[in-house]
Amino acid sequence: MSSHTSPPTRLTIPQVAARKASAGRGAPLTMITAYDLVSARLADRAGAELLLVGDSVGMVVLGRENTLTVTVDEIIHHARAVTAAKPKAVVVGDMPFLSYHISVPEAIRNAGRLLSEGGCQAVKVEGGLRCLRTIERLLAGDIPVMGHLGLTPQSLHRMGGFRVQARQTEAAEALKDEACLLAEAGVFAIVLEGIPAEVGRIVTEAIPIPTIGIGAGPYCDGQVLVWHDLLGLTEGLTPKFVRRYADMGSLIVDALARFVSDVRTGVFPSSEESYHISAEVAAALQSNHADPIQTTGRGIDDEK
């Protein structure tokens, strides 16, 4: 399969759970965030197996400082645009801050809405032990869950910033234990974010389901990047785990600047880019106008 073709059919959640590259069960999984029709369509065409409607939408699309203000309605709004692309990829919707913290019934209702209204196939929940009971209840309600451990952006204030986690022995062991608990509970994959590569490897080897890393080194069973980071659409400092595969920001500015310049200099639109009246209509109109009406002689019906 070329790198530009999609997988023939959408993987099922059990098939994703069984894809464990580090154990020789398939190629590494790829997940890309997507927030609208175009990003979903293009990421799907590129062959990513999973699309994440991440709460990173708050930062990279909506211009907020962190993810804490993103709401369930906002994730649904973006998920609907993503699923409108009818992607072959599995669409995972992020459970935003406070959507699963207050009570289990509220968590089930919110997660269920991501599936029933957003069209997602699964939800992602940040945290381990502290939300284990909630995750178990979501799973019991037939809502597939992807875990998320390590640097969990919704814990920004507790962590004291976006800081690499599990650098020390005790924290690394605790992370591994939490990953095991989530796997035993039945999550189908776990995102590992912002942890040392060695810890990523230990956790990956400790659990039977795939780990999907972001800033978690090369030993995970898959990798995820944020659309805007990957394509060079973010400004300012980028974390070292981001690889920019294109400088789309510059390409877009260049294209837009050429449009602006062409309009200002009268180069756009050209006659070919305009609709025209027929010679007969021009002649009829001419009788009412002092100035000559010029026509190419081609009517609008000639335009294809």
> Catalytic amino acids?
193
State which residue has the least CB distance to ligand KIV. 54
136 or 193: whose CB is closer to ligand KIV?
193
What is the Cα–Cα distance from 91 to 70, expressed in whole angstroms? 18
Q: In terms of CB distance, is 125 or 282 closer to ligand KIV? A: 125
Work out which of 44, 55, 74, 229 binds ligand KIV, going by CB under 6 A.
Answer: 55
**What is the pattern of x (binds ligand KIV, CB under 6 A) and - over residues 56-85?**
x-----------------------------
Q: Which stretch binds ligand KIV (CB under 6 A): 36-44, 54-62, 233-241, 293-301?
A: 54-62
Identity of the residue, 14 or 239, whose beta carbon is nearer to ligand KIV in the bound complex: 239
CA contacts within 13 A on the Cβ side of 216: 30
Q: Rule CB under 6 A: is residue 213 a binding residue for ligand KIV? A: no
Between residue 84 and residue 143, which ones bind ligand KIV under the rule CB under 6 A?
A: 94
User: What does the alpha-carbon distance between residue 59 and residue 40 come to, in Å, rounded to a whole number?
Assistant: 18
Nearer Cβ to ligand KIV, position 58 or 277? 58
The one among 75, 191, 199, 209 contacting ligand KIV by CB under 6 A: 191
- Distinct helix (H) and strand (E) counts, the chain: 12, 8
Tokens 């106008």: give the residue.
289
Residue written as token pair 């796997």: 183
Cβ–Cβ under 8 Å, residues 29 and 49? yes
Q: Is 33 in the site for ligand KIV (CB under 6 A)?
A: yes
Given the complex with ligand KIV, which of 81 and 277 has the nearer CB atom?
81
157: CB partners within 8 A, 6+ apart? none
From 11, 114, 209, 226, residue interacting with ligand KIV (rule: CB under 6 A): 226
Options 47-55, 101-109, 255-263, 296-304: segment touching ligand KIV (CB under 6 A)? 47-55
* Residues binding ligand KIV: number (CB under 6 A): 11
With CA atoms as reference, report the closest residue to 78 among 95, 99, 98, 93: 93
Nearest to 72 by CA among 103, 56, 93: 93
Q: Does 49 bind ligand KIV (CB under 6 A)?
A: no
Shortest CA distance to 150 belongs to which of 188, 99, 190? 190
Question: What's the distance, CA 206 to chain centroid?
Answer: 27
Largest CA distance in the chain: 90
Question: Which window, 20-28, 34-42, 51-59, 256-264, contacts ligand KIV (CB under 6 A)?
Answer: 51-59
CA angle 104, 96, 87 (to 5 degrees): 110
> Residues, the chain, total?
304
- Among residues 55 and 178, whose Cβ is nearest to ligand KIV? 55
Q: How far apart are CA 125 and CA 131, in angstroms?
A: 8
Q: Which of 214, 216, 220, 277 binds ligand KIV (CB under 6 A)?
A: 214
Structure-token match 């939300």, residue found: 131
Residues that bind ligand KIV (CB under 6 A): 33, 52, 54-56, 94, 191, 193, 214, 224, 226
